[in-house]
């Protein structure tokens, strides 16, 4: 995987750092905390991308708009989502063992659009590799059968590539007792252009009622 600009880290101010000339900053937050929820609420994250694009069968752009205009709330998790959260650390360890890439969770924010954000499941220290982890029986079976990522995750992966500036990411699918699945996802600049236009329009609508 390649990033256009990879430079030494330079501290900007408390809680944020970035490689010089990087398209993003690192925001020092622990995912799952109240501060992280508030930061996530004040922008568009990778998990929002498919909703903004109208590709999420579980949520609509209108519903997301209402959520963003209101106060930050704890994220809803059903049992399958909670299981995925519990399995993620083990899945990440197995990804590291499989690929040799030492990745860790990270929060990144675009230097061009401060509302453009992503909570990464795994990001390499030199920022040249990122992994999106999925843990669950349903997604595992679907990926195992199709050998491709589900359509409703495509926007999420391209949003991550838009923020990080990378050319590709790894989609890592884990379910206990089964072989791990690793699928490279290439950057799709045409899709990213459409995505950013839609996200910018969406965020302007959020701000008009802020």
% of residues, the chain, pLDDT over 70: 87
| Residue 3 counted as domain residue | no
Cβ atoms of 116 and 44 within 8 Å: the answer is yes
Containing structural domain, residue 69: 9-208
pLDDT at 18: 56
| Residue 199 counted as domain residue | yes
Residue 110: helix, strand or coil by DSSP?
strand
Instruction: Give CA–CA dist 197/203, Å, rounded.
Output: 10
**Into how many domains does the chain fold?**
1
| Residue 47 counted as domain residue | yes
Which tens digits make up the pLDDT trace of 10-49? 333 335 555 568 999 999 999 999 999 999 999 999 999 9
Can you give the pTM of this predicted structure?
0.88
The sheet carrying 103-110 orders its strands as: 9-13, 16-19, 24-27, 103-110, 117-124, 130-135, 168-174, 181-186
The kind and range of the H/E element at 118 are strand 117-124
Cβ atoms of 132 and 170 within 8 Å: the answer is yes
Which tens digits make up the pLDDT trace of 118-155? 999 999 999 999 999 999 999 999 999 999 999 999 99
Write phi, then psi, for 50 (nearest 5 degrees).
-65, -30
**CATH at residue 74:** 3.90.320.10
| Residue 91 counted as domain residue | yes
| Residue 1 counted as domain residue | no
């Amino acid at each position: 995987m390649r990033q256009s600009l990879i430079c030494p880290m330079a501290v900007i101010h408390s809680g944020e750092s970035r490689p010089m000339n990087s398209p993003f900053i690192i925001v020092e937050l622990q995912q799952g905390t109240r501060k992280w929820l508030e930061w996530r609420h004040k922008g568009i994250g990778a998990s929002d991308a498919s909703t903004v694009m109208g590709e999420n069968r579980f949520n609509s752009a209108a519903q997301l708009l209402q959520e963003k205009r209101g106060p930050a709330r704890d994220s809803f998790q059903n049992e399958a989502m909670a299981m995925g959260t519990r399995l993620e650390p083990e899945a990440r360890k197995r990804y590291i063992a499989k690929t040799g890439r030492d990745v860790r969770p990270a929060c990144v924010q675009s230097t061009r659009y401060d509302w453009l954000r992503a909570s990464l499941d795994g990001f390499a220290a030199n920022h040249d590799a990122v992994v999106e982890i999925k843990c669950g029986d349903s997604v595992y079976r679907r990926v195992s059968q199709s050998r491709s990522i589900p359509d409703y995750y495509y926007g999420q992966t391209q949003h991550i590539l838009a923020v990080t500036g990378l050319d590709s990411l790894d989609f890592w699918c884990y379910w206990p007792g089964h072989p791990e699945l690793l699928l490279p996802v290439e950057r799709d600049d045409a899709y990213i252009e459409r995505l950013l236009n839609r996200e910018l329009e969406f965020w302007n609508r959020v701000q008009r009622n802020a």
